[in-house]
Structure 1
Amino acid sequence: MSLRRMFLELVICVAVILSEMGAAAVDKFQIAKPYCQDRCGDVEIPYPFGTTEGCSLDGDFLIRCNDSTGHPPELIAGANLIVKNISMDGELDILMYIAKQCYENGFPLEPNYPWINYPAFTISNTKNKFVTIGCDTYAYLNAFRNDESFSIGCMSICKSRKNVEDGSCTGIGCCQVDIPTGLKNLTLEARSYYNHTYVSDFNPCSFAFVAKEDDMFNFFSSYLESLQGNETYPMVFDWAIGDENCETAQNKSDYVCGNNTSCVTPPEGVDGYRCKCKEGYEGNPYLPHGCQDINECEADPKLCNTTTSKCNNTDGSFTCICLEGYEGDGKIINGTGCILKAGANQSRINIIISLAISIGLLGLFVGGSSIYCGLKRRKLIKLKEKFFEQNGGLLLQQKLSNYSTLTETAKIFSAEELENATNNYDERRILGQGSYGTVYRGDLPVNKVVAIKKSKLCDQSQIEQFINEVIVLTQINHRNVVRMLGCCLETEVPLLVYEFITNGTLSSHIHDKNLSSSLSWEKRLKIASETAGALAYLHSSTSVPIIHRDVKPANILLDDNYSAKVADFGTSILVPLDQIELSTLVKGTFGYLDPEYFYSNQLTEKSDVYSFGVVMAELLTGKKALCFARPEKDRSLAMFFNSAIKEDRLHQILDDQIVNDGNINAIDEVANVAKWCLSVKGEDRPTMKEVAMELEGLRTMEKHPWVKANLYTEETEYLLGAPTHSFNIDINNGSSTITTIAFESMRNEVVKPLDDGR
C-alpha cells in the first residue's frame, strides 16, 4: 500500500473522530408513548403503564398521577396504592396498607383490614414475606389462586417483653411465613385471642402486613407499640402481559413486544408473557418500535485495540477492523486481536503512521479550529432563529402589532440567564406542574427571585396557548394579578418569567390540613374579595376585555400576607369590544366549568363568574369541587352547595374552622353571593364588578361593624336572593373518560334559547 494512500486514510479517520466529538449528545431512549406523561414525581412511567387512556396498554395498566395535594406528585395504582417504582423486569413496587386491630381496656377499636382487588397483577412470592407482629396475635393473608380462595396464617404469643428478641421473627412477638406462588386479590386480617388484655401495657395492637424482602425487614421489640403509627409498608407485585404464554401470544394480532425483542416467560405462578430487548439493543421492548441499537463503540472504546484497529458499530453488535499491515478480528475480549502480518516492516509502518498522524493533526488543528469556531457560531445563530420561529416568535410579533395599547414591554431573557437562574432546570427547583408546562424557581442577579414557566414540547395549538399568555399578561397591570417579567424564545421550549409568589396556591391552603388551620375567615374573605376585584379588572378595566376561562384555587397564588394573585392565563381569551360572547371549543376544569358554556360553546364573562362561585363555595366549605367519595348527586360541589342553601342546611356543610358566633351572618351573606354566582343561566348571574363590590362591602363591615345597619339596602337583599340552579358532572372513577355529564334545570332554561339561533 502506498504511503500517500495511508496518509489520506489516516487524515480522514482523524477528521471523523473530531467531528464525532462535536456532535450532539445521544438521545435518551423513549420509555412512554409519544405525547404521554413519562414521569410522576420521582417515578418513571414506562409503557405499557400510562396515566391516561391511549397512553396505557389497557385498563389494567392505567394509573394516575396525583399532584393535587400540595406535596410532590405521587403515582397511584388501584384505589389508593402509592407506586414507588415500575421495573421493566416485571415488578411493581407499592406501599401496601398494614392490617391492625387495637384494643383499649380490653375493648376492640375499629379494625383496619386492607384489601387489594388487582387481578391483573400477582403478589411476588420471591420478593415478599407475610409478617405478623404482636404478643396476642394471629393473622391471615386471604387471596385467590387459580380462581379459588386461599389463606395462609401466622401466630405470635408471648406474655412479656423480656422474651422478645430484636432481629428475631420466629414466633415470639413476630412471625413470618413464605408466600405461595400465584396469589392475587389479597385481604389482610390481624386478630387477638384475649383482646391484648394481658399485654396491653407494652402491646395494644395486632399487626399484619406483606413486607418487601429487599428492604431487609428487621424486627425490633419497639414495633409492638410504635407500629401503631405506621400506615403502610413496601411490597412487590409481579406483572406481565395478558394470560397467554409466549408461544400462543406471538401468533396473535395483539402481541405487544416490539422490534428487536424477545418474548420471556415470567416466574412460576405469574400468567402471561414479558418482553425483553435482544442482546445489543436497549429501550422499552413494549413500545411498537421496540428496542434500538446500542453503539458499542461509543459505550466502551476499549472493545477494540485503538492502536491496531478501528471499532465499527453494526446493527445489534460491532466489529473491529484491523489497520493496514495487521490481521485478525481486532477484539480484545474473546478475540484474537490484530497481529502484524508476516513479512511486514514494523519500523517502516511505525514511521509512516507517526508522520501521517503528525502532519494530519497539525493541519487539522490549524484549519479545523477556525472552521469549527465559525461553524459553531453560525449553527448557534441558525438554531436560535429556528427556535424563535418554532416557538411562535413571528406570531407574537403579529399579535403585538394588533394590540398597540400594550402598557409595558416585557424583558427578553437569554437562554443562558435562565439556565443559570434555575441551576440548569434542577428538579429540586420545581414549584409545580400544569397541563401546559413546569414552573421552576429562579434566582436572578441582585437577589431577585422569579418563577420560570417552561412549556412542554407541543404542537401548534399549544404554541398558540403560550403566545396567548404572553399577550394577555403583557397588558395586565393589577396588584392581584401575577406579573409577567419577560420571556425567552431562543430555546427548544418557550419560557415565561413571572414574579415569584411565596406562599403557594389557594388550593393547597384549603385542602391541606396542615395549612387550612391558618386560613381564618378574615383571610378567606380577603382572598375572595381580592380575586373578585382582579377578575372584575380583567372583564371591564383592561383595554381589551379578558376572560380567564380557568378560574380555580390552583390558579390563585398567595403571598406572605395572604394577598391573592390570579395566575395561569394559558387558556384565556381577549374579547373584542363589539362582542359580548364568543363561540369557542370548551376549555376549563371540570367542577368549575360553566354548564351553560359547556352546553352551548358560547363563552361570556359570566363563565368566569360561575367558576368564581365554585371557588367561594370551596372557601366556605373546605370541600373539593369534584369528589367521588360523596354520593353521586352531591359529587359536584356547586350542586351540593346550592342544595344545602335551598334545604336550609348550609351551616352543616361549612368548614368548622371558620364559623363562630361573630361571623355567621357575614358567612350567610357570602354564601348568598356564591349562590347568585352559581345560577345555571348566565343572565341570572351578577357581573364580577357587582360581586367585587358586594365582597368589598362585607370586608368593610367586618373591619367596621358599626356600619352594619345601613350597609345593605333592599335592592342588595333582592340581588342576593336571585334564583340559582346547579349542575352535576359524573366522571368514571379511575379513568379520564367522562361517562356522564348531567345538567339539571338546563333543558327548560337553556335548550330553548339555543334553538332560537344562538
Structure 2
Amino acid sequence: MGLRRMCLELVICVAVILSEMDAAAVEFPIALSPHCQDRCGNVRVPYPFGTTKNCSLNDDFLMRCDDSSGHPPELIAGINLTVTNISMDGELDILMYIAKECYKNGELQYSNDPWLNYPAFTVSNTKNKFFTIGCDTYAYLNAFRNNYPFSIGCMSICRSPQNVENGSCTGIGCCQVEIPKGLKNFTLDARSYHNHKNVSEFNPCSFAFVTREEKFKFSSDYLISLREKETYPMVLDWAIGDEKCETAQNKPDSVCGGNSSCDNPPNGVAGYRCKCKEGYDGNPYLPHGCQDINECQLRKPACNATAKCTNIEGSFTCTCPDGYEGDGKIDGTGCSRPKASGSHAKIIIIALIAISIGLIVLFVGGSSLYCGLKRRKLFKLKEKFFQQNGGLFLQQKLSNDRTSMQTVKVFRAEELEKATNNYDESRVLGQGSYGTVYREVLPDNKLVAIKKSKFCDQSQIEQFINEVIVLTQINHRNVVKLLGCCLETEVPLLVYEFITNGTLSKHIHDKVLSSSLSWEKRLKIATDTAGALAYMHFSASIPIIHRDVKPANILLDDNYSAKVSDFGTSRLVPLDQTQLTTLVQGTLGYLDPEYFHSSQLTEKSDVYSFGVVVAELLTGKKALSFDGPESDRNLAMYFSSAVKEDRLHQILEVHLVSDGNIYEIDEVANLAKRCLSVRGEDRPTMKEVAMELDRLRNMEKHQLGKANLCTEETDYCVTTPAVHCFSIGVDDGCSSTSTTVGYEVSMRTQVLKPLDDGR
C-alpha cells in the first residue's frame, strides 16, 4: 500500500506541474502588440481600440489615456467623454453629458446642448432611453439615421410638485422615449415653454439626457438636484466598417483573426463584428487572438476526481486510469475500480509511471515541433507580403533597368526591425496621415529615416513600384533621396536619407527658430523648393505631381538647403496626359480650390500649394488659423487680399524687412499672389516660378542694395527655343539699366475644366 500511494502521489504531482505549465501558457492578449497599452486605469483596452494610432485599427477606435489630472488614469473617447468599459460583444460604456437650460425670474442663466459626433458608433437602442426632466420642458434628440437627419422629442409638464410621482415617468415632471435603431451623431436640446416663470420656485431648469434605463429611476428631487449632476452612463454599439459579413469577410482587409467567425450585429448597427468559435476564447480581432480553451482548467471539476482530463480542440475528454472502469465524467458513469490481484496492481503502477514519462516527452517534443512550425509560418508570411507588395514586379523592373539596379536596395525585414528596435516608439521622428517615420542607424553606420505606411492599397501596387523606380532615378539636390524599400512586411517600408535640421514648419512657427530664419535663408528655401518641384514637373523621366506641398514636407539640412519629402500622396503623370482624375487628397489650407471642386489634378495644384508655403515664409502665419476673425482664417485669401490692397508690409514678419530687401520681398509676394490664383490657368508654371526666384536670389547675392544696380547689367535670359524675354527698367537716379528676365513657356498645355461657380 505504501508503494502504491507513493506512485499515485508522483502521478498527481506530475499532472499538477503540467497543468500549471499549461495555465502559464494560456494568456489571451487583447492589445495589438506587447508595446501597446492594454489597460487605462481600471478599463481594459482591447484591439481594435488603442491609445496610440499604431495600436488602434483606425482613428475611429483611437482612445486617450488621461492621467494629467492627478487622479487615477481615465480612458477618454473623442474630446472629453469618459469611457468606463469596452465589451468585446460590441458595446462601449461612456459617461454622457446632460443638456440643461436654467432660468431665474424668466431670464436665461445657463444653457448647455451636448453633442456626440462619433460616426463609427451607434446609440444602443436596447440599453438606453431618452429622458426629459422638468415642469415647463420640451426636449429634442437630433441625430442621423441611415445618413438622413432624424429627430425625436419628449414633453414634461407639471403645475405643482404635488402632482409629481417618484418612479413615474409619464410626462408629469419626467418623460421618457424609446431610442430608435441606428441613431448616430446626436445632439441633445432642452428647452422651456415659458422660461420656467410659473414653476421657478420648485423647478427652474429643463434637463434632457440619454442613459442606461436600469441606471435611472426618477425622483422629484431631480427637478432641482440635476443642476449639480454633469453626466449619466450611456451605451454605444460599435462594429467594424459599414459592410456586412457577406461582403467584408471576402476582402483581404477583414480584421477577423484565426479560429473566429464573422457576425452581423443586430439593432440596425452598420458593419460587422468578430467572435471566437465554440471552444476558443480571446480577442477575435487579433490574427491569433482566439486560442483554444483548456476546459480541464476552466471547468471545476471537468471530470471525475479519478479520471484524467484531456483538452482537445474545442472540447475535452475524460479517461479513467488503467484498472478503472467508466467514462470518467461527472454526469456519466464516473470511474470505478474493480477488485484487482497483486500482479494487476504492479501493472497499473508501471503503466502510470510510463504515462507520466510519456507526457513529459510529448510536451518537450510538441514544443520543438511548435517552434519549427512557427518559423516556417513566418517565412511563408514574409514571402506572401513580398508578393502582394509587388516584389516580383519590382524584381522584373530592376532586371530590365540596370541603372535602377545600381541605386535601389531591397532591405530585409530583420535588418530594419533590428535598426528600429522592433519599431520602438522612442525612435519615432513624426507621424502623418499615411505613416510613421523612424530615425535609425543602419549596420554600416549610415543615418536614415524609415517610413512605415499605415495601410497598403492593393490596387495601387504597380503604381507604387513604378514610383519607387522613378524616385530612385531622381538625382536632384533638393529632393530627399530614396535609398531603398522593404516589401517583406504587411505594409511597404521606404528608407530615405536622413535630413538633420527638421521641418520648415518647425522653423517658421517656433518663435526661437523663426527669429534666426533671415530673409536670405527664406528666399533660399523658397528657391530650392521651387527648383525641386520644377524638376519633378518637367525634367523627371515620368512627371510627378507631389499633391501635398507644405512646410511639414520640406526638410532643412544644416546649411538650410531645402529637401522636398513625403511622396505618400504623389501621382505619376503619363507623358500623354496633362491632368488626372483622382480622389481629392491633400492638406486643408494648402489644397488647390480648383482641384478640390473638380477632382482634376494638374501640375498647377502644386503651384497653388507652393504659393501658400511662400505666404507662410513671408508672414510666419499658419495656413489655417482659427484664433482671429473669420476673414483672417485662410492664409491664402488673407495674403492675396493684403497684396492686392497694398497692405503687405502690415502682415510681414517684423524682422524680415530692411532697406536692402524691400524690392525682393515685394516681388516674391506678387509671385506668391499669382500662384494663389483661384483658376489654375492664371497661375505660372513651377519652372517660371523657379526662374523668377532664382533671379531674385541672384539679385540678393550679387546686387546688395540699389547702389549696386548702377554698376552692371545682369542677363538672366536663358537661351532656349521656348524662351520669351522682356526688360524691366530700373530708374533709381543712376544711369538707365535694364534687367532681362527669361521665362520658359510650359512644355505641356494645361487643360482645366471650368468650375460650376464660374471661378
Fold conserved between structures, TM > 0.5? yes
Displacement after TM superposition at 1:561 (Å): 2.8
On the 8 A contact 1:531/1:565 being kept in 2, the answer is yes
> Secondary structure at the residue paired with 1:438?
strand
Deviates more, 1:591-600 or 1:420-429: 591-600
Q: Is residue 355 of structure 1 aligned with residue 342 of structure 2?
A: no
On the 8 A contact 1:432/1:440 being kept in 2, the answer is yes
On the 8 A contact 2:715/2:740 being kept in 1, the answer is no
Q: Which whole-Å deviations, capped at 9, do the CAs of 1:367-386 have from their partners, x for residues lacking one?
A: 995x7787556544432221
Instruction: Give 2:391's match in structure 1, choosing from 393, 397, 403.
Output: 393
Q: Which residue of 1 aligns with 2:560?
A: 562
Q: 1:557, 1:685 → 2: CA distance?
A: 25
Q: Is residue 294 of structure 1 aligned with residue 281 of structure 2?
A: yes
Q: Is residue 254 of structure 1 aligned with residue 182 of structure 2?
A: yes
On the 8 A contact 1:680/1:746 being kept in 2, the answer is no
Deviates more, 1:486-495 or 1:623-632: 623-632
> Do the aligned partners of residues 451 and 266 (structure 1) sit closer, same or farther apart at CA in structure 2, a change above 3 Å counting?
farther
> Do the aligned partners of residues 606 and 408 (structure 1) sit closer, same or farther apart at CA in structure 2, a change above 3 Å counting?
farther
> Secondary structure at the residue paired with 2:672?
helix
> Do the aligned partners of residues 271 and 464 (structure 1) sit closer, same or farther apart at CA in structure 2, a change above 3 Å counting?
farther
Q: Which whole-Å deviations, capped at 9, do the CAs of 1:506-526 have from their partners, x for residues lacking one?
A: 223223445433333222222
Q: Which residue of 1 aligns with 2:449?
A: 451
> Secondary structure at the residue paired with 1:675?
helix
Q: Which residue of 2 aligns with 1:177?
A: none
Instruction: Give 2:616's match in structure 1, choosing from 608, 613, 618.
Output: 618
Q: Which whole-Å deviations, capped at 9, do the CAs of 1:637-656 have from their partners, x for residues lacking one?
A: 22221111111111222223
Q: 1:479, 1:115 → 2: CA distance?
A: 59
Q: Which residue of 2 aligns with 1:166?
A: none
> Do the aligned partners of residues 93 and 466 (structure 1) sit closer, same or farther apart at CA in structure 2, a change above 3 Å counting?
farther
On the 8 A contact 1:509/1:519 being kept in 2, the answer is yes
Q: 2:506, 2:327 → 1: CA distance?
A: 64
Q: Is residue 493 of structure 1 aligned with residue 491 of structure 2?
A: yes
Displacement after TM superposition at 1:440 (Å): 1.6
On the 8 A contact 1:407/1:475 being kept in 2, the answer is no
Normalised by the length of structure 1, the TM-score is 0.57
> Secondary structure at the residue paired with 1:294?
strand
Q: 2:655, 2:320 → 1: CA distance?
A: 81
Q: Which residue of 2 aligns with 1:6?
A: none
Q: 2:54, 2:30 → 1: CA distance?
A: 17
> Do the aligned partners of residues 85 and 299 (structure 1) sit closer, same or farther apart at CA in structure 2, a change above 3 Å counting?
farther
Q: 2:509, 2:76 → 1: CA distance?
A: 19
Letter of the aligned partner of 1:622 in structure 2?
Answer: G
Displacement after TM superposition at 1:271 (Å): 4.5
Q: 2:134, 2:470 → 1: CA distance?
A: 59
Q: Which whole-Å deviations, capped at 9, do the CAs of 1:572-619 have from their partners, x for residues lacking one?
A: 223333444344443322322223333444433222222111111111
Displacement after TM superposition at 1:628 (Å): 4.0
Displacement after TM superposition at 1:416 (Å): 0.8
Displacement after TM superposition at 1:458 (Å): 3.5
Q: 1:275, 1:323 → 2: CA distance?
A: 49
Q: Which residue of 2 aligns with 1:549?
A: 547
Deviates more, 1:464-473 or 1:565-574: 464-473
Q: 1:577, 1:276 → 2: CA distance?
A: 50
On the 8 A contact 2:326/2:336 being kept in 1, the answer is no
Displacement after TM superposition at 1:567 (Å): 0.7
Identity of aligned residues (%): 56
Q: Runs of 5+ in structure 2 lacking a partner?
A: 1-14, 33-37, 39-46, 66-74, 87-91, 98-109, 118-130, 137-173, 185-211, 218-228, 239-259, 283-290, 717-725, 730-738, 744-751
On the 8 A contact 1:501/1:558 being kept in 2, the answer is yes
Matches within 5 A, 1:545-694: 545-694=543-692
On the 8 A contact 1:466/1:570 being kept in 2, the answer is no
> Do the aligned partners of residues 85 and 693 (structure 1) sit closer, same or farther apart at CA in structure 2, a change above 3 Å counting?
farther
> Secondary structure at the residue paired with 1:441?
strand
Letter of the aligned partner of 1:613 in structure 2?
Answer: G
> Do the aligned partners of residues 120 and 578 (structure 1) sit closer, same or farther apart at CA in structure 2, a change above 3 Å counting?
closer
Displacement after TM superposition at 1:85 (Å): 7.6
Instruction: Give 2:235's match in structure 1, choosing from 267, 271, 274.
Output: 274
> Do the aligned partners of residues 25 and 475 (structure 1) sit closer, same or farther apart at CA in structure 2, a change above 3 Å counting?
farther
Q: Which whole-Å deviations, capped at 9, do the CAs of 1:93-135 have from their partners, x for residues lacking one?
A: 99xxxxxxxxxxxxxxxxxxx99863569xxxxxxxxxxxxxx
> Do the aligned partners of residues 255 and 665 (structure 1) sit closer, same or farther apart at CA in structure 2, a change above 3 Å counting?
closer
Q: Is residue 439 of structure 1 aligned with residue 426 of structure 2?
A: no
> Secondary structure at the residue paired with 1:274?
strand
Displacement after TM superposition at 1:432 (Å): 1.7
Q: 1:668, 1:379 → 2: CA distance?
A: 64
Q: Which residue of 1 aligns with 2:194?
A: none
Displacement after TM superposition at 1:418 (Å): 0.7
| CA radius of gyration, larger in | 2
Q: 1:501, 1:604 → 2: CA distance?
A: 29
Displacement after TM superposition at 1:396 (Å): 3.3
On the 8 A contact 1:597/1:607 being kept in 2, the answer is yes
> Do the aligned partners of residues 117 and 569 (structure 1) sit closer, same or farther apart at CA in structure 2, a change above 3 Å counting?
same
> Secondary structure at the residue paired with 1:482?
coil
Q: Which residue of 1 aligns with 2:155?
A: none
Q: 1:613, 1:520 → 2: CA distance?
A: 19
Normalised by the length of structure 2, the TM-score is 0.57
Letter of the aligned partner of 1:294 in structure 2?
Answer: D
Q: 2:649, 2:48 → 1: CA distance?
A: 42
> Do the aligned partners of residues 329 and 454 (structure 1) sit closer, same or farther apart at CA in structure 2, a change above 3 Å counting?
farther
Q: Give aligned pairs, total.
A: 536
> Secondary structure at the residue paired with 1:497?
strand
Displacement after TM superposition at 1:424 (Å): 0.7
> Do the aligned partners of residues 329 and 294 (structure 1) sit closer, same or farther apart at CA in structure 2, a change above 3 Å counting?
farther
> Do the aligned partners of residues 659 and 402 (structure 1) sit closer, same or farther apart at CA in structure 2, a change above 3 Å counting?
farther
More RCO (CA 8 Å, sep 6+): 1
Q: 1:562, 1:86 → 2: CA distance?
A: 49
Q: 1:276, 1:341 → 2: CA distance?
A: 52
Q: 1:470, 1:363 → 2: CA distance?
A: 50
Q: Which residue of 2 aligns with 1:118?
A: 114
Q: Which residue of 2 aligns with 1:310?
A: 309
Q: Which residue of 2 aligns with 1:182?
A: none
> Secondary structure at the residue paired with 2:407?
coil
Displacement after TM superposition at 1:483 (Å): 1.1
Letter of the aligned partner of 2:447 in structure 1?
Answer: V
Displacement after TM superposition at 1:349 (Å): 3.9
Letter of the aligned partner of 1:642 in structure 2?
Answer: S
On the 8 A contact 1:407/1:474 being kept in 2, the answer is no
Q: 1:511, 1:421 → 2: CA distance?
A: 32
Displacement after TM superposition at 1:657 (Å): 4.1
Q: 2:477, 2:430 → 1: CA distance?
A: 22
On the 8 A contact 1:593/1:611 being kept in 2, the answer is yes
> Do the aligned partners of residues 464 and 148 (structure 1) sit closer, same or farther apart at CA in structure 2, a change above 3 Å counting?
farther
Displacement after TM superposition at 1:489 (Å): 0.9
Letter of the aligned partner of 1:351 in structure 2?
Answer: I
Q: Which whole-Å deviations, capped at 9, do the CAs of 1:534-593 have from their partners, x for residues lacking one?
A: 112212222222221221112111223322111111222233334443444433223222
On the 8 A contact 1:265/1:274 being kept in 2, the answer is no
Q: 1:599, 1:500 → 2: CA distance?
A: 36
Q: 2:213, 2:590 → 1: CA distance?
A: 48
On the 8 A contact 1:405/1:543 being kept in 2, the answer is no
Displacement after TM superposition at 1:37 (Å): 8.8
Q: Is residue 519 of structure 1 aligned with residue 517 of structure 2?
A: yes
Q: Which whole-Å deviations, capped at 9, do the CAs of 1:683-702 have from their partners, x for residues lacking one?
A: 33222222222222322333
Q: 2:26, 2:687 → 1: CA distance?
A: 55
